[in-house]
Structure 1
Amino acid sequence: MSKTGSAAKVKLNRFDDLFGTEKLQIGTEQVQEIALSELHEFKGHPFKVLDDEKMQETVESIKEHGVLMPGIARPMKDGGYEIIAGHRRRHACEIVGLATMPMFIRDYTDDEATIIMVDSNIQREDILPSEKAKAYFMKYEAVKHQGKRGKGNSLDEVGETAGESAKTVQRYIYLAHLSDALLDMVDKKKIGILQGVELSFLTEQQQEWVQVVLEETGMIISTVQASRLKEHGKSDELTLPMVRLILTEPKPIERKVTIKADKISRYFPEDYSNEQIENVIYQLLDKWNSSNSEK
């Protein structure tokens, strides 16, 4: 799958076009120093700006070298500029104590801006499931608005920048329908991705019930339990007592036994296949079980 990205298709053909470096060199566009107070967060921005180790690295870099890569923003109707790319750099500039930040100002449409905003962030290694879910949902809606459905699979286009399949993208888009509380549990790995997808089909009220029970009990929800909740939710039979019953029922013990090859090979000829070895083991276990039952 190509990793060129949809951002490159929004009247942009190369990395130089996206960040304006070539245009800057020939004098047709200039980097503008914009006051930080005039730079506003992208509406519905799905990516968190954290004061983590990587932010500190950005801060140190700006202290030493300044902002090496200008951000991208677009004018807002009521004044100021909406950041498309550069939220983390803006925050780092604030920490450093700068009053302005270098920006390219582009008059993009809502859909163009959304696609570029997502594509410029989605390849980071530390993205949370909640961030990816909201970002993919926003980009999917933007791609649909551009009327590209008949020109290929929109889900493939959404995931191409990060090299992810349409199936993976669809899962994350489902997750975007979870409540913030349940999405937070997915981020903290208290709910798995597959379980989260199943729960995303529940109503807001039903999701709240699940949240309450999980927080009360500290239980880990299984895929089977999530599927049962989804099925009962479809038929509008789900109630808080039923949610509590499903989530607190005893789970079967999962057993997985691995026998090392060097040990098992001592008991079988070299020409025995895996299937033949398994059959012999099952036969011996059946005999062992019968002899124990007779005692």
Structure 2
Amino acid sequence: MKKKEEWYSFSQQNNGAMVETDIRMIPLSELHDFNGHPFKVENDMALFELMQSIEKEGVIVPALARPKADGGYELIAGHRRKAACKWAGLDCMPVVIRDLDDNQSVIAMVDSNLQREHLKPSEKAFAYKMKLEAMKRQGARTDLTSSQVWQKSTSSQVVTETSDQDGPELYNPTTKAYALQSNYDVDGNWCITQGDMISSSVRSDELLAKQVGENRMTIQRYIRLTNLIPKVLDMVDEGKIAFTIAVELSYLTKEQQYELYEVMDIEQCTPSLSQANRMKRMSQSESLDMDAMFSILEQEKPNQREQIKLRTDSVAKYFPEDYTPKQKTDLIERLLKEWYEKQEREKKQGSDSSRGRAR
């Protein structure tokens, strides 16, 4: 596919003044992932469809990046577009280059990704934490006068700015929101016009909750998940551990979480909400150990179906070393199915033989 080398003109109204920003074609090799980027780029069907769209129409919405001190650019928004471009065999993509500070970059990065339809709990957890910390830093500092941050939405963008007033760490002393309407003019330039200003004094976590459509306590619960060890957090993403249960388990120490993971693997079950809450209280009273975990998980949960438990170490020798847990489960199920079908055939043959002798 032929590369587009032209530059695009981007017009933004900033406090009454129009600022021109060029959209440049940047080599993919010069675009580096955002430091601590919490959103996973997976080679799934959605990315494949994005790649096909880019092959046909090119990148419609430019990415956003900022210059790096050691060369190249740090990608703020557009990680999936970059991956799709690479998949499509392109070597560059359109990018808006902006000189944003660390806090502005974090907020813009999070906002551009929170619009995605499907987000894993771990992605929300680290994204909310990163953005809330950036918002608190903006509220506590006095040198961030008129600091602008983009918030991506379907048909408009929002720029927030903080005043030069001092205030408690948890607050943005004065938050001013400008509704920006975006569209293309007759020459094909991307133009943004600024609407009315809304000014209010608000807690950072309350502002974040309003922006993402959650309540403040839900935001805090998601952030609790960042205290989980990776193995347990993966189980939350996979739906093996419910969100509310995961929040309770986040109060366990790292060592206790590793022990719990081993116990769950041996017992082949996960704790209920009441069991997780009990572990949390025992952890806080420093009385939780592996024996207590076994004792708690062995208690039958309401509506718990009968389970057959196999100790990992007792069956591991029968599998290739590189087999994953899923491959082991699939093999066991297949062998059991073959055994069952064999039993049914032998039973049928025995029945036919009996009828033959009766004649």
TM-score (structure 2 length as normaliser): 0.62
Q: Deviations over 1:140-171 (max 9, x none)?
A: 11111112633422222223332111111111
For structure 1, which segment, 214-223 or 36-45, has the greater mean C-alpha deviation from structure 2 after superposition?
214-223
| 1:129 lines up with 2:121 in the alignment | yes
Indicate the residue corresponding to 1:233 in structure 2.
283
Aligned partner of 1:22 among 1, 11, 21: 11
Which residue of structure 1 aligns with residue 26 of structure 2?
34
1:28 positional shift: 2.1
The one-letter amino acid of 1:88's match is R
Equivalent of 1:101 in 71, 77, 93? 93
1:249 and 2:299 equivalent?
yes
For the 8 Å contact 1:130–1:175, the answer to whether it is kept is: yes
Kindly tell me: are residues 20 and 43 of structure 1, through their superposed partners in 2, closer, same or farther at Cα, counting changes over 3 Å?
A: farther
Q: CA 1:27 to 1:116, structure 2 compared with 1: closer, same or farther past 3 Å?
A: closer
Q: Does 1:49 align with 2:38?
A: no
Residue identity in the other structure for 1:168: T
Runs ≥4 residues deviating over 3 A:
none
Task: Indicate if the aligned counterparts of 1:20 and 1:104 stay in contact, CA closer than 8 A.
Answer: no
Matches within 5 A, 1:146-165: 146-147=138-139, 149-150=170-171, 151=173, 152-165=202-215
Which letter does structure 2 place at the counterpart of 1:77?
A
Match of 1:181 in 2: 231
Length, aligned pairs only: 235
Question: For the structure 1 residues 62 and 252, does the alpha-carbon distance in structure 2 shift closer, same or farther, using more than 3 Å as the test?
Answer: closer
| Equivalent position SS for 1:111 | helix
Letter aligned with residue 269 of structure 2: M
Selected match of 1:90 from 82, 87, 90: 82
What does the per-residue CA deviation read over 1:51-81, in whole Å, with 9 as the maximum and x for residues that have no partner?
1111111111110111111100011121111
1:214 Cα deviation after fit: 1.2
* Pair 1:179–1:136, CA change in 2 (3 A): same
Q: Is the 8 A contact 1:84 1:116 kept in 2?
A: yes
Q: Distance in 2 between matches of 1:201 and 1:27?
A: 48
Instruction: Please tell me whether the aligned partners of residues 67 and 99 of structure 2 are also in contact (alpha carbons under 8 angstroms).
Output: yes
Distance change (3 Å), C-alpha of 1:20 and 1:194 = farther
Counterpart in the other structure of 1:208: 258
* In structure 2, distance between residues paired with 1:39 and 1:229: 45
User: 1:252: how far off?
Assistant: 4.0
Deviation at 1:83, TM superposition (A): 0.5
Which of 111, 120, 145 lines up with 2:137 in the alignment?
Answer: 145
Cα deviation, residue 27, structure 1: 7.8
User: Quick check: 1:193 aligned with 2:235?
Assistant: no
* 1:241-291 deviation digits (Å, cap 9, x = unpaired): 11121122222448xxxxxxxxxxxxxxxxxxxxxxxxxxxxxxxxxxxxx
Unaligned runs of 5+ in 2: 1-7, 141-169, 174-201, 305-359
SS at match of 2:94: strand
Instruction: Tell me if the contact between 1:111 and 1:142 (Cα under 8 Å) persists in the aligned partners.
Output: yes
Cα pair 1:122 1:161 within 8 Å, conserved: no
The residue type paired with residue 288 of structure 2 is: L
CA 1:204–1:47 in 2, change beyond 3 Å: closer, same or farther?
same
1:210-241 per-residue CA deviation (whole Å, 9 max, x = no partner) reads: 11111222213111110111111112221111
C-alpha distance in 1 between matches for 2:136 and 2:58? 38
Higher relative helix content: 1
Kept in 1: contact 2:50–2:81 (CA 8 A) = yes
Three-state SS of the structure 2 residue aligned to 1:90 is helix
**1: distance between equivalents of 2:78 and 2:260?**
37
In 1, distance between residues paired with 2:59 and 2:19? 20
Which residue number corresponds to residue 273 of structure 2?
A: 223
Identity across matched positions, percent: 44
Which residue pairs with 2:163 in the alignment? none
Kept in 1, the 8 Å contact 2:51–2:87? The answer is: yes
Q: Identify the residue that residue 7 of structure 1 maps to in structure 2.
A: none
Q: Is the 8 A contact 2:11 2:21 kept in 1?
A: no
Residue 72, structure 1, aligned to residue 64, structure 2: yes
Q: Which amino acid counterpart does residue 66 of structure 1 have in structure 2?
A: G
**Separation of aligned partners in 1, 2:236 and 2:103:** 28
Higher relative contact order structure (alpha carbons within 8 Å, sequence separation ≥ 6)? 1
**Match of 1:235, as an amino acid?**
S
